[in-house]
């Protein structure tokens, strides 16, 4: 579909197209379309902009990933089609591997995501052709993880996660960074760092902060991580939603 750039919802429509195309290519699961819609609704409510609470969380996430011994980025179908160029840029910049990890797991979908990421120049994509094992405490297919990747990771960045797995990763002693537009989800509550923002805006910023912070001494990064409080950040995001909705309720015709 040809979307005119002047359309007020241009970005959002382009993303929808990517998800639909991804579904047709067998990369996105049918349920991924629903998950995307839920994300869009929350994005509408926060005004489709990266807010201060998200910036703070992204900076802490960049620092924590740099400090971690074995960090990994978990990738599902939606993430792969929405931001392949940024996933690959981040992974190649930091040497942090990407790992395909799916709730609706099929061999075809895993391989399709692997090929898709490789076509964007990804160096290391785990979870498909390397050795896998089982992460205890999970019923879904997401329990199958790469031995070299999530299984032995100390920190896992999980854009668009489901709550069960975030909790299982926590029980396995890992630090979890989530990107989730819904601040009320179990994922958002269970994660150590929750970035309440669209992955399409959060990832480019993560790359920018990583470039800046990797020049800084370790103590500086530790200070950022130690002074970060996720409960406070989540509260800020919910208070922001409350205040924005109150302002809009008072002046609905000014809505932009
Ligand atoms: P939980 O199990 O954590 O309570 P859930 O059942 O909502 O959450 P899913 O449906 O698997 O979990 O996850 C989809 C989540 O991803 C939703 O919370 C949605 O808001 C979020 N989401 C969807 N698209 C995006 C996006 N582009 N950027 C950030 N978050 C998104």
Q: Which domains does the chain have, with CATH numbers?
A: 52-240 (3.40.50.12640)
- How far is it, in rounded angstroms, from Cα 89 to Cα 203? 10
What are 27's two structure tokens?
Answer: 């990369």
Q: Whose CA is nearest to atom 18 of ligand 1?
A: 182
Q: Is the CB of 40 under 6 A from ligand 1?
A: no
pLDDT of residue 10: 85
Q: Is the CB of 179 under 6 A from ligand 1?
A: yes
pLDDT of residue 135: 87
Question: What is the reported pTM?
Answer: 0.95
**pLDDT above 70 covers what percent of the chain?**
99
Per-residue pLDDT at 11 exceeds 90:
no
Query: 140 CA to middle of ligand 1, Å?
Result: 16
Q: Which of 63, 71, 86 is nearest to 202 (CA)?
A: 86
What are 38's two structure tokens?
Answer: 């839920």
The region of weakest confidence among 95-99, 142-146, 185-189, 252-256 is 252-256
175-187 per-position pLDDT tens digit: 999 999 999 999 9
């Amino acid at each position: 579909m040809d979307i005119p750039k002047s359309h007020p919802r241009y970005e959002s429509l382009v993303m929808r197209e990517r998800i639909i195309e991804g579904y047709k290519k067998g990369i996105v699961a049918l349920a991924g379309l629903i998950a995307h819609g839920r994300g869009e609704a929350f994005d509408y409510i926060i005004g489709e902009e990266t807010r201060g609470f998200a910036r703070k969380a992204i900076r802490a996430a960049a620092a924590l990933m740099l400090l971690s011994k074995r960090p990994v980025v978990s990738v599902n179908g939606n993430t792969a089609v929405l931001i392949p160029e940024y996933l690959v840029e981040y992974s190649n910049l930091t040497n942090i591997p990407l790992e395909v990890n799916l709730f609706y797991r099929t061999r075809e979908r895993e391989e399709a995501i692997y090929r898709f990421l490789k076509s964007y120049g990804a160096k290391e994509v785990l979870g498909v052709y390397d050795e896998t094992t089982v992460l205890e405490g999970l019923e879904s297919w997401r329990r199958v993880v790469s031995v070299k990747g999530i299984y032995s990771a100390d920190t896992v960045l999980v854009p668009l996660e489901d709550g069960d797995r975030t909790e299982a990763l926590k029980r396995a002693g890992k630090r979890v960074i989530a990107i989730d537009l819904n601040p009320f989800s179990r994922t958002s509550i269970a994660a150590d760092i929750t970035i309440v923002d669209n992955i399409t805006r959060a990832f480019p910023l993560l790359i920018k902060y990583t470039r800046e912070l990797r020049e800084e001494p370790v103590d500086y990064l530790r200070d950022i991580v130690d002074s970060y409080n996720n409960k406070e950040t989540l509260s800020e995001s919910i208070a922001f939603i409350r205040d924005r909705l109150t302002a809009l309720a008072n002046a609905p015709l000014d809505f932009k």
